Structure 1
């Protein structure tokens, strides 16, 4: 009778490779059925793979070294389920052996810990109903200095051991260090360590190249804090093989084991090779004193990479605090190396204990062969090949093309056409995206492309600046929102306002409180005449002077067109902020969009009068009555809308969260669409918890207490 193995995991990469091992291993391979249960919540920038994609990945792995006949599609069932659907799905299955693959690789620690704990809890509760006789849990083997991750790992292992003992189920608790694999980006994964390093380089390169394509042909990228550190480069194939060896045999005793780490590769070497693959000259420097904005951005994105790194033998942190840092990091250097029988370097350092027990060596395989002390390090040539493959698999289509996956349609409102763009099929209220006054849809197409897979998104062409438009003040903008709600058949919606859209969204919430589920403000301007004096950016001051003059003397519009240069704004930041440099340059894709309100005298007059009307609106008086969750997302280098004023405005909203993006400008929704979309998506799912769920080094959360921003 065939035996069934259930492999459930939050890592499709590792769970898929284990499924391939299971289907191809041992004499009973032909009698084994595998159910691969992928429990991954898709999010912007990291879409979860579908059933066909995962099945193809497993088949591809099994048709390699194990031979073309190792996998039979009839013996593999792939199920992709949302976290809240796991309990119901498990009721449909029985399995002799259950694998829980929870390596903790989510980029957000808090989100990853919750997802891993939820899956493990569901599987453990279901063990009696599944009829399981053996349970294997694969968790993370944290870096030696990462005490927080070690506590999280133990918190997962303890209840698992207790549940297995109570149920009379044999168990193995296994750990693995983060892996590197060319297919990880295609499966929506970015494990800690090498993958986060490659992502950091590629994301910085893309953000700079969007402005100045040849920047890195003339400029190096400087890094600090990497001397004396190394990364173990463990391939997913090797990790899956060692895990299967340690957990699959049914006659193994209960206990703990971990995949040995390869000897760490100096982080300076990894950065140099990864930089070359991306066409970047990466130069280590002793400190951050002379960092420009691009260097700072990379430094922030490498924060987690440094946390995963280990100190190389015989090195100590630079500077007078080196001894103290060494003591905090665990004393002696980690990753002691020796020469293996084939001349490669192997690591002999211990990998840590599980749940307070001593770490056991990996057991022999079913054929009696013993594993090596540790996998060999990737050769320089292997690193070149792997890093290049990761970049190739991570390439994605340009989300800026078209309208971000939105369909265009025209509806009649007040006897005039209103152009709508809509897409997506998310559950719950739709997300209405209020563009800035005078702007076209191009500013938000990248953001909408990342939002559409998760939400029903609707935006429209803001009226009032085209030559054929009648005067269109704030009251008319509220009427348009009413009309959009009716057109999409929704009684309630989330409102997202970019720039001037924030004040209009606030006014609509007061106009129809029951129709608004939440508010999101991106790079919001809350400018109001005679309020919050002294907080204007230079651009806001200049714009206000021009608009007031044109409201009184519209005949002067022709010679005022050249007074404003919006393409040069956006990188000055708050008073006293460091220069944004190349990150303050306007994206080439926005060159025409940003000139839209300034293309001729008549349009400029209409735009000026819309702004003058908006500045009369007292949002500060309205804000205390806003009873829905509100998210502010602003930018350190916003030289158009004042971040200082946005922070003051957030104080007035009873349920506000305020996030500031480091080294970002006014057009952050365009420049960093995946990150901004992730903030929005997690906020709409869990508004009270968003500051914990999306906590990265490049985001500063300004929160004192519940509902109070600072």
Structure 2
């Protein structure tokens, strides 16, 4: 039987929030063992779920928990994604505490994983000494796919919501590059037409789990609906709602599918969605409903209710994206300060939270950063400024001048320690600042770093860098050509610039294309002959800076981002540079461009937040967290047969 207090561990999301809301309505205590950032997200989700439910008489307490020392007598609820297990260290801690019961709940995409596809994939490491699950009361619950009305919180995107949010994200990105692609091209999915998509309402799954916990002293249960949609029906219904033709694979393609680059990217971001398909047999389903005291299994989501919930999810996603665009269009507060005799302006979001300074690429304005700022500002104090030196009223600036300006801005804002986030040429400013001001930099994030050095860099130059080196050399010799060069570079900037021939070429061309919003802003340095010449001189100065000479002296945690379709800064350059710094790690974004910080600002913001918080970053994209044992905890001798029978 369930106790009056509960401790939640793992990666609780929407299903856990419904269970927590129910316990709170019973005036019970809910404690959450999680880092501060993760707790704040979950607490907000539980509060929203509680407000949506019918008023209940009880009002329990919810609080964060730093350890399990005070969990004596409580039920421990561990939430994990399907296929994950409890870390052995956590199990040992639970074993040392006289708890009431251990409940292990696994559900597809638990806690939201729409951003984890960027994490490097890795092979599972089997725990050679698994901790036995011999607690006095142990319950194991596994759900099929779930779906419910949910707020746009990342951690709520479980089950079918993961599929829907991934589809929305990808379609939005593609539409912002080539808005008519899905009008005549479908999106292929690694789902067989006859596959069974078993969907249960999240609130219903939570109610069944709670009823079982109230009535039983242990056991293993599969929580599912009695009926399923076919894979073909599922894709057709979702496609009609989202305005894209979703195509199932026919039997001949299951083992050698013909996927375009966009299809493959969709599959990568879905993270093995097909593994969560299937219809458990009726005996397994009835076992859970009988334990919950229900006469018969519920049918699960019917087509009409499924459509209603999917439409609700789509409307929420549209509203959230519109809100992001609106917030991104509002510039932060602008302030002024001085660096020597020069006056410079910078932006600041607020005085709350740790300080993050965004170091822009040379010649660029605020547009590429706008969405990332909108995602970061609720959690951090975000400072930014546009590198000067393009205007005739400004003196010619060098990299060291920009470093001095950064120091002046931090002094003006009374910031003693800071996280630096640099894009393109910005990381070189960050590296030199960290070298000159040791102890002031807490961490650095390098987005699509340009490492080019005219004297000594390895041969990682992109065609873009090679071409512009030739152009800038020409300008040094013949400044009179600046007007012609500027006009040549800016002509046709409003065109998509895509050569769409075959389907495969088209798919890769679209993924490599620039977001339409940025086509004019990124050409800011070439608006006239004067700015073109001044920008060329700044870039040549930057290309004389050799990061290889300073990297080994910088003892700061650094996170590198590289993008598969970066035409400006080669991914291999970031990979090489990350090996130079003693405390660096690298993330490579498949299907992304040089402007990943704008296209998927939510993913970049989440990774920055993980990195700077010190809470620990997920290591892999296959659903496993580094602290979790790959061996699925419920595959003990008496559970394995039950789950196998339910496939």
Question: With structure 2 as the length reference, what TM-score do the two structures score?
Answer: 0.80
Aligned pair in 2 of structure 1 residues 376, 14: CA closer, same or farther (>3 Å)?
same
Q: Please give the per-residue CA displacement for 1:142-174, whole angstroms capped at 9, x wherever unaligned.
A: 89xxxx99999x979x56x53xx4xxxxx3514
Give the structure 2 partner of residue 33 of structure 1: 27
How do 1:552-701 and structure 2 match up within 5 A?
552-564=477-489, 580-686=508-614, 690=617, 692-693=618-619, 695=621
Equivalent residue of 2:233, what SS? Answer: helix
Given the alignment, which residue of 46, 50, 58 partners 2:50?
58
Mapped partners of 2:21, 2:483: distance in 1:
69
Given the alignment, which residue of 38, 48, 57 partners 2:41?
48
Question: In the TM superposition, what is the alpha-carbon distance from 1:202 to its structure 2 partner?
Answer: 0.8
Mapped partners of 1:262, 1:150: distance in 2:
35
Question: In the TM superposition, what is the alpha-carbon distance from 1:441 to its structure 2 partner?
Answer: 1.2
Question: In the TM superposition, what is the alpha-carbon distance from 1:386 to its structure 2 partner?
Answer: 1.6
Does residue 275 (structure 1) correspond to residue 212 (structure 2)? The answer is no
How do 1:483-494 and structure 2 match up within 5 A?
483-494=408-419
Mapped partners of 2:352, 2:86: distance in 1:
25
1:494–1:518 Cα contact (<8 Å) kept:
yes
Question: In the TM superposition, what is the alpha-carbon distance from 1:606 to its structure 2 partner?
Answer: 0.9
Question: In the TM superposition, what is the alpha-carbon distance from 1:557 to its structure 2 partner?
Answer: 0.7
Greater displacement, 439-448 / 491-500: 491-500
Mapped partners of 1:523, 1:398: distance in 2:
27
Question: In the TM superposition, what is the alpha-carbon distance from 1:49 to its structure 2 partner?
Answer: 5.2
How do 1:321-336 and structure 2 match up within 5 A?
335=279
Mapped partners of 2:218, 2:270: distance in 1:
38
How do 1:43-442 and structure 2 match up within 5 A?
48=41, 50=43, 54-55=46-47, 57-61=49-53, 63=54, 71-72=56-57, 75-79=58-62, 81=64, 85=66, 98-105=74-81, 134-135=100-101, 137-140=103-106, 158=132, 161-162=134-135, 165=136, 171-190=137-156, 192-224=158-190, 226-249=192-215, 252-286=216-250, 287=253, 290-310=258-278, 335=279, 347-348=281-282, 350=284, 363=290, 369-372=293-296, 374-394=297-317, 395-396=319-320, 397-401=322-326, 402=328, 406-423=332-349, 430-442=355-367
Equivalent residue of 1:296, what SS? Answer: helix
Mapped partners of 2:449, 2:494: distance in 1:
18
Mapped partners of 1:178, 1:121: distance in 2:
29
Mapped partners of 1:364, 1:650: distance in 2:
54
1:35–1:76 Cα contact (<8 Å) kept:
no
> How many equivalent pairs are there?
592
Aligned pair in 2 of structure 1 residues 409, 124: CA closer, same or farther (>3 Å)?
farther
Q: Please give the per-residue CA displacement for 1:311-368, whole angstroms capped at 9, x wherever unaligned.
A: xxxxxxxxxxxxxxxxxxxxxxxx36xxxxxxxxxx42647xxxxxxx9655555xxx
Give the structure 1 partner of residue 448 of structure 2: 523
1:180–1:233 Cα contact (<8 Å) kept:
yes
Question: In the TM superposition, what is the alpha-carbon distance from 1:209 to its structure 2 partner?
Answer: 1.8
How do 1:434-513 and structure 2 match up within 5 A?
434-513=359-438
Mapped partners of 1:149, 1:77: distance in 2:
40
Aligned pair in 2 of structure 1 residues 362, 291: CA closer, same or farther (>3 Å)?
closer
Q: Please give the per-residue CA displacement for 1:114-140, whole angstroms capped at 9, x wherever unaligned.
A: 7x986x888776657xxxxx4362411
1:177–1:261 Cα contact (<8 Å) kept:
no
Question: In the TM superposition, what is the alpha-carbon distance from 1:255 to its structure 2 partner?
Answer: 4.0
Aligned pair in 2 of structure 1 residues 55, 536: CA closer, same or farther (>3 Å)?
closer
Give the structure 1 partner of residue 628 of structure 2: none
Question: In the TM superposition, what is the alpha-carbon distance from 1:567 to its structure 2 partner?
Answer: 7.5
1:571–1:638 Cα contact (<8 Å) kept:
no
Question: In the TM superposition, what is the alpha-carbon distance from 1:547 to its structure 2 partner?
Answer: 1.4
Mapped partners of 1:42, 1:308: distance in 2:
31
Aligned pair in 2 of structure 1 residues 54, 589: CA closer, same or farther (>3 Å)?
same
Question: In the TM superposition, what is the alpha-carbon distance from 1:50 to its structure 2 partner?
Answer: 4.7
Greater displacement, 520-529 / 33-42: 33-42
Greater displacement, 471-480 / 447-456: 447-456
Question: In the TM superposition, what is the alpha-carbon distance from 1:190 to its structure 2 partner?
Answer: 4.1
Mapped partners of 1:151, 1:646: distance in 2:
32
Question: In the TM superposition, what is the alpha-carbon distance from 1:438 to its structure 2 partner?
Answer: 0.5
Mapped partners of 1:14, 1:149: distance in 2:
26
Equivalent residue of 1:224, what SS? Answer: coil
Question: In the TM superposition, what is the alpha-carbon distance from 1:141 to its structure 2 partner?
Answer: 6.1
Higher-RCO chain (CA-CA 8 Å, sequence separation at least 6): 2
Q: Please give the per-residue CA displacement for 1:430-457, whole angstroms capped at 9, x wherever unaligned.
A: 2221100011111111112222233332
1:422–1:458 Cα contact (<8 Å) kept:
yes
Question: In the TM superposition, what is the alpha-carbon distance from 1:87 to its structure 2 partner?
Answer: 5.5
Mapped partners of 2:42, 2:419: distance in 1:
27
- For structure 1, the 5+ residue unaligned runs are 25-31, 129-133, 166-170, 311-334, 337-346, 352-358, 698-710
- For structure 2, the 5+ residue unaligned runs are 110-122, 624-647
Equivalent residue of 1:102, what SS? Answer: strand
Aligned pair in 2 of structure 1 residues 180, 532: CA closer, same or farther (>3 Å)?
same
Equivalent residue of 2:188, what SS? Answer: strand
2:482–2:529 Cα contact (<8 Å) kept:
yes
Question: In the TM superposition, what is the alpha-carbon distance from 1:14 to its structure 2 partner?
Answer: 2.7
Note the aligned Cα RMSD (angstroms).
3.8
Mapped partners of 1:683, 1:305: distance in 2:
27
2:239–2:246 Cα contact (<8 Å) kept:
yes
Question: In the TM superposition, what is the alpha-carbon distance from 1:224 to its structure 2 partner?
Answer: 3.4
Give the structure 1 partner of residue 632 of structure 2: none
